[in-house]
Amino acid sequence: MSRIGKLPIAIPSGVQITVSDTNLVTIKGKMGTLTQQVDPDIIVKIEGGQLLVQRPTEQQRHRALHGLYRSLLFNMVHGVSEGFKIVQELVGVGYKAVATGQILELSLGYSHNIVFEMPPEIQIATVTERSKNPTITLISHDKQLIGQVAAKIRSFRKPEPYKGKGIKFAGEILKRKAGKSASDK
């Protein structure tokens, strides 16, 4: 039995879950609405205030899908009830981030500014304080979407291992390398 898949998902108050005949799971909460099409072999049911995910056989395919769909549904329930938040730091001299509406403008040391349009499901905020690195805060109810957008923003200037300059996640520890050492001859 899958250790992840067999765990029931507690349904918090204010969250409504509907499972259609075609295994389309719709989850509504205070943060928004998410839907997920579940494989027809996997059984999804609601019992006693909990969402249960079950598999019909012990085939490798069913075991893999069991844990996958349980994790996806758990992230959806958590997202519509509490939401997800990702904070990124811009480390480098002259690096700036400005958010106006759903448009993020980044100045990352290139010859041009990077303009990135956010999906409507994501709320964005930027903070620039004196003597601190500028930060970008992303908030959304969709974990997959917020992770994809955060990865895209990071890809504009990945942290380099020598000085640590670039866009990194808050609290991330970078593996640093020593630079060249002068040879004694």
Confidence check: pLDDT of 185 > 70? no
Give the contacts of 99 (CB within 8 A, at least 6 positions apart).
105, 124, 125, 126, 136
Q: Cβ atoms within 10 A of the Cβ of 39, count?
A: 14
3-state secondary structure of 139: strand
Q: Cβ atoms within 10 A of the Cβ of 77, count?
A: 21
Average pLDDT along the chain:
92
- pLDDT tens for residues 24-73? 999 999 999 999 999 999 999 999 889 999 999 999 999 999 999 999 99
In this structure, which amino acid lies at residue 98?
Answer: V
Every domain of the chain and the residues it spans: 9-81, 84-169
- Equal CATH topology for 9-81 and 84-169: yes
| pLDDT value for 1 | 52
Beta bridge partners of 46: 51
Q: Which CATH superfamily is domain 9-81 in?
A: Ribosomal protein L6 (3.90.930.12)
The arithmetic mean of pLDDT across residues 129-146, rounded, is 94
Please answer whether residues 166 and 92 qualify as being in contact, where contact means their C-beta atoms are separated by less than 8 angstroms.
yes
Which DSSP string do the residues of 71-105 spell out, in sequence order?
A: HHHHHHHHHHHT-EEEEEEEESTT-EEEEETTEEE
- pLDDT tens for residues 140-177? 999 999 999 999 999 999 999 999 899 999 988 889 89
Enter the tokens of residue 28.
């509504």
pTM of the model: 0.88
Confidence check: pLDDT of 184 > 80? no
**CATH number given to 84-169:** 3.90.930.12
| pLDDT value for 53 | 93
**What band does 18 get if pLDDT is binned at 50, 70 and 90?**
very high
